[in-house]
Structure 1
Amino acid sequence: MGAQVHTYLMSEDARGQANFYMESLGGEIQFLTTFGETPGIPDAMKDKVMHLALTVASTNTLMMSDSFERVSYNRNICLALNYDDESEARTAYAKLSEGGESKYPLALQPWGAYYGEVVDKFGITWMITKQ
């Protein structure tokens, strides 16, 4: 018996963040439900995302929800994308950098792989590698 770890992001704009990742990495929303489907939710929250699952960069699942409080991120957790193709890695790096911050340029490293790091416009740190 085992378990799987899934990435679940709390967001101030889950729909916008999901759309950015789909445009940057390719993918599609698999499931979306709002808080409006729950009885007793105030009108201001009805359109907020309770649960969203999307597939990005081929077969990777990200899950998201709108937060009821301000969201802040730090470098304690990063998302790592490993590519087989250098041009795909460069495209993902460039697109995720739009509106964000390039921390380390995608470049050949002494260990023989390409590596770069970017903080996207939502504050998520991505480590991009091409083996």
Structure 2
Amino acid sequence: MNMAAKLVPYLMSEDARTQAEFYQNALDGEIHFIKTLGEVPGTPEAAKDKVMHLVLTVAGGNTLFLSDSFQPAEGGRNMSLSLTFAEEAEARNAYAKLGEGGTIKLPFDQQPWGAYYGEVVDRYGVTWQIVK
């Protein structure tokens, strides 16, 4: 069976715009599309600015989707996002920026298996594995 598919992480957020802007800055990204609930007929006034769907590319074209959540958006402990960089300097820069306001789980350093690797939980509760 030949299956064509693309996996895109979809992050639920308490403030999707701010979170997307953080990733845009930290990972040299670009926001391509934002659809708000205000574009849906019958949306209550208080929810009109909420993000229904946002498309962001980061770190050389990787796609992330984000949406505002109506419930607390708690980080999942059973999933991490992994980014592999060609250059150590790019990896260190992304690691440092994602860690601003977050928590270092594993410092970015050369590992026994030869790669540079580190883990950080960003200020939104998303765990990132940064690899070179």
| TM-score where L is the length of structure 2 | 0.96
Which one of 10, 34, 37 corresponds to residue 36 of structure 2? 34
- Shift, 1:10, TM fit: 0.5
Give the residue type in structure 2 aligned to 1:18: A
Whole-Å separation in 1 of the counterparts to 2:71 and 2:18: 17
Query: Residues 52-110 of structure 1: CA distance to partner in whole angstroms, max 9, x if unpaired?
Result: 00111111000000011111113201000001100000000000000000110001011
**Corresponding residue pairs, total:** 130
Give the residue type in structure 2 aligned to 1:3: A
Other structure's SS at 1:4 match: coil
Alignment gaps of 5+ in structure 1: none
- 1:1-131 matches, cutoff 5 A: 1-130=3-132
Whole-Å separation in 1 of the counterparts to 2:116 and 2:36: 39
Give the residue type in structure 2 aligned to 1:85: E
Whole-Å separation in 2 of the counterparts to 1:84 and 1:3: 24
Other structure's SS at 1:53 match: strand
Whole-Å separation in 2 of the counterparts to 1:75 and 1:92: 21
Across the aligned residues of Structure 1 and Structure 2, the Cα RMSD in angstroms comes to 0.7
Other structure's SS at 1:16 match: helix
| TM-score where L is the length of structure 1 | 0.97
Other structure's SS at 2:79 match: coil
Give the residue type in structure 1 aligned to 2:122: D
Give the residue type in structure 2 aligned to 1:52: L
Alignment gaps of 5+ in structure 2: none
Q: Which runs of 4+ in 1 moved over 3 A?
A: none
Other structure's SS at 1:10 match: strand
